[in-house]
């Protein structure tokens, strides 16, 4: 295993994989070609993260808002997702990668849900990198779902309002068993979170490289980790004298 280029590595890296469409447009290609190239970038980055000893890698694969895209593009994205999972399972097993997914998964096509379920089941015993896909996900909706669950527990007498704290509320989120991201990357130079892990990224370091996602590679990931290590994380405190 190759060492992380930092003596203070992030445990959890989350990435908004942006720029597939612009990458394709710059080359005079259909948007779906950008997504195909983006899937290859996923393969590179997952392999690099596993080799570098990263604990968790969360990728924003499909947002709630993405349903607004043309139907042909949505079908293509679903096909790439399903194909990626089936094609990459042997590599995940070889690299000891555990797979998880979160979001409104029940609203996805049956074939995609099946691929997600099978990949999760088949990698459950792996102990290396945990690869997580946010699929049919939106952070505001996640927080709304969590609030509904907390209210239901309160009405059922399972939760007293005074016992609801940020820590206990976090247990109602989709990410209840996943540590918050230390480093959140958005490629393609856009400077916003776009409804991604709003609660969980409260104290994340943010990094916005100009590179489009299909061109993102191990070198870019290592540079992001080095940049993370250069920053001071004080969580509202002050640096010791």
Q: Which residues contact 15 (CB under 8 A, 6 or more apart)?
A: 45, 57, 58, 59, 60, 184, 185, 186, 187
Region of residue 164 (phi > 0: left; psi between -120 and 50: alpha; otherwise: beta):
beta
- Taking only the tens place, the pLDDT of each residue in 144-202 is 999 999 999 999 999 999 999 999 999 999 999 999 999 999 999 999 999 999 999 99
Mean pLDDT across the chain, nearest whole number? 94
Domains of the chain: 12-230 (3.40.1180.10)
What is the helix (H) or strand (E) element at residue 205, kind and residue range?
Answer: strand 205-207
Choice among 7, 20, 66, 145 that is catalytic? 66
Choice among 18, 20, 180, 182 that is catalytic? 18
Closest CA relative to residue 104, chosen from 144, 156, 55 = 144
What predicted TM-score, i.e. pTM, was given to this entire model? 0.94
Q: Which residues contact 4 (CB under 8 A, 6 or more apart)?
A: 52, 53, 54, 225
- Taking only the tens place, the pLDDT of each residue in 9-66 is 899 999 999 999 999 999 999 999 999 999 999 999 999 999 999 999 999 999 999 9
- Burial annotation 145-159 (CB, 10 A radius, 16+ → b, else e): ebeeebeeeeeeeeb
Could you tell me the CA-to-CA distances from 56 to 9, 28, 132, 171, 177 in Å, in that order?
12, 35, 7, 18, 11
Band of pLDDT at residue 71, cut at 50, 70 and 90: very high
Catalytic residue status for 153 = no
Catalytic residue status for 20 = no
């Amino acid at each position: 295993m190759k060492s992380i280029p930092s003596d203070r590595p992030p445990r959890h890296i989350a990435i908004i994989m942006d720029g597939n469409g612009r990458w394709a447009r710059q080359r005079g290609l259909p948007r779906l070609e950008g997504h195909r190239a983006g899937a290859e970038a996923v393969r590179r980055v997952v392999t690099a993260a596993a080799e570098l000893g990263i604990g968790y890698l969360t990728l924003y694969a499909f947002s709630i808002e993405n349903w607004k895209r043309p139907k042909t593009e949505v079908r293509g994205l679903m096909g790439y997702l399903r194909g990626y999972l089936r094609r990459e399972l042997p590599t995940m097993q070889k690299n000891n990668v555990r797979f998880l997914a979160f979001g409104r998964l029940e609203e996805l096509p049956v074939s995609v849900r099946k691929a997600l379920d099978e990949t999760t089941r088949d990698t459950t015993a792996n102990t290396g990198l945990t690869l997580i896909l946010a699929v049919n996900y939106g952070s505001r909706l996640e927080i709304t779902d969590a609030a509904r669950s907390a209210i239901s527990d309160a009405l059922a007498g399972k939760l007293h309002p005074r016992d609801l704290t940020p820590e206990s509320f976090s247990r109602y989120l989709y990410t209840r068993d996943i540590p918050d991201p230390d480093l959140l990357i958005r490629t393609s130079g856009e400077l916003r979170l776009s409804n991604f892990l709003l609660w969980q990224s409260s104290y994340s370091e943010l990094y916005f490289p100009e590179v489009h996602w299909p061109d993102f590679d191990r070198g870019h990931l290592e540079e992001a980790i080095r940049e993370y290590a250069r920053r001071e994380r004080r969580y509202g405190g002050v640096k010791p004298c």
